[in-house]
Amino acid sequence: MDCKLAKTPLTARVLADYRVQPMLASDTHLMRGLEVLCRRRVDLDNPCAMLAVDIGALKAARFLSDAYRHRLRVHCNVEISSMLNLDWIVTMAEHVTQGMVIELVERNDLMLREVEFRKIKNICSAIRRLGGEIALDDVSGSSIEERMIAVFKPRVLKANSRSGLDFISSMATDSIVVAEHIESPEIAHQAVLLGACELQGYWCDVLKEHEVPRSIMAPGVAARLQQSSMASAVMQ
C-alpha cells in the first residue's frame, strides 16, 4: 500500500520531527497501520516538551491519515499529562479523524487518582465520537492497565514482552494485539504463537522499506538503503 508524499513546505513542516514504523498483519505481512514516532530523543521528565511532541504527533498523524486516504490506521502517542492539557484536547478535537489511533503511554500515578481516571475516560469517549480509536502501548500487566482495558476497551493493545502478551491473552479481549520490538523472523514467529495478530519492529521496517516513503522511514532502514544505492553506483 504505497503512498507518495509530495515534497512541499507543508509536508516538510508537519513531518520534520517525525518518522513512522509500520504494523503488519502477522499472517500476510500486509501493512495494517503506521505509528508516528518522534525522530529525536525527548526529555520524558519535561511535561512541556512532551506536550509539544504529542501535539505535533497529532498533526502529523492527521496529515498521514489523509495522505493514505484512511486506508491504514495511523497511530500517535500521548502522555497522560499531555492528554489532560487543554491545548492537547483542542488539537485532538481539530485533528482526530476516522482511522487515527491514540496510544496512551507511560501510565503513571495520575491514573491512580479517580478524578483523573474519569477525565481520561471522558476524553477517550470524545476521541471515539470523532472517529478515532484508543490503544494502550507497552502493556506489561499492571493493575492499572487491567482496569484501563476493562473500562476503556482499547481497540489496540501493544506489548513487547512475553509477559505482556500473556497478560493480554488472559484478559480475553477482542482488541487487536500488536507485538512490538520484532527484530527477526524468529521473534515474529514466537510473537504469533503468543497471540499477536500484528507485528511491529525493525524486521517489519525492512520488509516494507519499498512501501514507506523514504522521507519518513526508520533512520536505520533509510541509511541502509542509501548505502546500498551508493554501493550499486560504485559497481556500475
The whole-number average pLDDT for the span 8-33 is 88
What CATH number was assigned to the domain covering residues 9-235?
3.20.20.450
Where are the domains positioned within the chain?
9-235
pLDDT in tens, 66-102: 999 999 999 999 999 999 999 999 999 999 999 999 9
The pLDDT of residue 42 is 83
The pTM of the full predicted model, rounded to 2 decimals, is 0.90
Cα–Cα distance between 118 and 227 in angstroms, integer?
50
Q: Which residue has the cell 497471540?
A: 195
Q: Tell me the pLDDT band of 186, cut-offs 50, 70 and 90.
A: very high
Of the two residues 25 and 112, the one the predictor is more confident about is 25
The pLDDT of residue 206 is 94
The whole-number average pLDDT for the span 111-120 is 94
Cα–Cα distance between 200 and 33 in angstroms, integer?
9
Of 105-109, 158-162, 172-176, the range with the lowest mean pLDDT is: 105-109
Q: Tell me the pLDDT band of 9, cut-offs 50, 70 and 90.
A: low
